[in-house]
Structure 1
Amino acid sequence: MANLVKLGTELVKKAPQLEFDIFGYSALMGNIVFAYRMREGLTQSQLAELAEISPKTVHRIEGGSGNITSKTYESVFKVLKITSKELGEAFTEDAAKKLKWEQEQLVHHC
């Protein structure tokens, strides 16, 4: 996970126009954390305690806030048993949905 965040940061430094595409995924990460937290039957406070972070940080993650460290994500993912494979699948599915939407928009505008 740390490598993913680091890669995103490096890409934005080289190509600032990619910032939204890369860090817009904070919202996706928040949705994933929320869904897995619900699956585990945890409150935000319980997740925070188990991950050794503040409840406010859990709230920020689930709200799609940026500036969440890779260490924080790793702690939360460990507690929620979210694997790299599951994250990859979520990102792939999200990208496919965006591509389909963009293609539909092109068809409607032509």
Structure 2
Amino acid sequence: MTDVFKLKQNLEEKYPSLKPSGNSMALVFGKLVFAKRIRENLSQVELAKRAGVGVKTIYRIEGGNDGITTKIYDKVFLVLGINFEDVAQFEDTQKKDELLNI
């Protein structure tokens, strides 16, 4: 994974439901990182160590903060085994869940 933002554009074209509608992709990435981290039974500290980033960075990612670099996402996604199909499927599931809760 070398260019997160280019891949993001490709995914948005392939899956129009991923296009931000008031929400940024940072929110999607944050929810997915949180879900995968919990599924892997990792603390934020453990994930940060494995990815070679600070704990505050993991906190910011999971909070959906903008301004996280591609390099940082690459490190965290690699540790958690996240690929862009995971992002697309996760976002699609989130959208369906939102519709069912209306």
Q: Same fold (TM over 0.5)?
A: yes
The aligned counterpart of 2:52 is 52
| Aligned amino acid, residue 75 of structure 1 | K
The aligned counterpart of 1:70 is 70
Long gaps (5+) in structure 2: 10-19
Q: What is the CA distance between 1:5 and its match in structure 2?
A: 1.9
1:16-48: CA deviation from partner (whole Å, max 9, x where unpaired): xxxx63762211211110010001111101100
Shift of the 98–41 alpha-carbon distance from structure 1 to 2, 3 Å rule, reads closer
SS in 2 for 1:32: helix
Percentage identity across paired residues of the two chains: 35
Q: What is the CA distance between 1:100 and its match in structure 2?
A: 8.2
TM-score after normalising by structure 2: 0.71
Instruction: Give the superposed CA RMSD.
Output: 2.9
Q: What is the CA distance between 1:59 and its match in structure 2?
A: 0.2
The aligned counterpart of 1:93 is 93
- Relative contact order (C-alpha < 8 Å, sep 6+): which is higher? 2
Report which of the two has the higher share of helix.
Answer: 1
TM-score after normalising by structure 1: 0.66
Q: How many residues align?
A: 93
Q: What is the CA distance between 1:56 and its match in structure 2?
A: 0.3
| Aligned amino acid, residue 68 of structure 2 | I
Q: What is the CA distance between 1:90 and its match in structure 2?
A: 1.9
- 2:28 touches 2:87 (CA, 8 Å); kept in 1? no
